[in-house]
Amino acid sequence: MSEPLFEIVPNLSEGRDSRPIDEAVALVEKAGARVLHRTSDAAHHRSVITAVGGGEAVLAASVALAGFAAERIDLREHRGVHPRIGALDVLPFVPLDGATMEQAAELAHRAGRQIWERHHVPSFYYGAAARRDERRLLANVRKGEFEGLYARFPHHPPDEGDVAAHASAGAIAIGARPLLVAFNVVLETGDLAAARMLARRLREGGGGLRTLRALAFRLAPGRVQLSFNLTDYRATPLHRVVAMVRTLAAADGISAGRGELIGCLPRDAVEASASFYLGVLEPAS
């Protein structure tokens, strides 16, 4: 029987210098995990790595990445449009072939313990790894960002570690979750308030699409971005999100521009969108 397979999607708070990200990718592969994709964004000042491997390989890669990020990234000097609490900001464990969510949560907890013991960076657990109901949502864990960790500490201490934050590396949100789709859409407008209203109307928390998380960011003068996490892409497929963005944006007199995929897209998500736009294609005779 083959070893259970897991995905990790570490988000690093560095998106403007490719050299440390090259080193981070090499660290992940040296630990025995396979890097499938990487992407960096200067406005977000953030990079996302998608890697897969057996449990011990992704665990080793995660602990190594946390130490690397603590050495190379200083949150005290970091400014970007994306919310963050740490140099290694988010570290989700995702069960794939032969793996369970319970095993992913166990890996998340082992990672948090080892990162604290070796690198003295505290962690908060979210998703299926959460030890407190209010921390299941990642947005709740990141509330107040890096700068707010010290103020939160007396009433909201981390799950691993006995300090509010590492002085320069902050804290890490470590989770266990299903596969999700991360997708951005650029809006051809400079009106950030209008984009935030669109995000609010689209996301589940604002009465919009089920399981959808949405934020709005300014990229440059005259351009803003809607940033989505489809936490259950079967319940809310990607093509439905795109169609709703176009419809609601057009009603406000805003043009929706290009889309951008962050990380990998599950095959059945591609097939569902292709079927919607093209119809069910019969094999050629």
The string of pLDDT tens digits covering residues 215-230 is: 999 988 889 999 999 9
Parallel, antiparallel, or unpaired: how do β-strands 172-176 and 123-127 relate? parallel
Question: Which residue ranges form the domains of the chain, and what is each CATH number?
Answer: 5-176 (3.30.990.10), 181-277 (3.30.70.670)
Whole-number Å distance between alpha carbons of 38 and 26: 12
Q: Is 161 helix (H, G, I), strand (E, B) or coil?
A: coil
Query: How far apart are the two ends of the chain, measured CA to CA in Å?
Result: 38
Is the whole model's pTM more than 0.95, yes or no? no
How much is the mean pLDDT over the chain? 94
User: Is residue 82 among the annotated active site residues?
Assistant: yes
Whole-number Å distance between alpha carbons of 75 and 84: 9
Give me the numbers of helices (H) and strands (E) for the chain, helices first please. Answer: 8, 11
Residue 280 pLDDT level (bands cut at 50, 70, 90):
low
pLDDT number for residue 157: 97
Tokens of 126: 């979210």
Q: Which of 44, 45, 78, 82 is catalytic?
A: 82
pLDDT digits (tens, 9 = 90+) for 34-76: 999 999 999 999 999 999 999 999 999 999 999 999 999 999 9
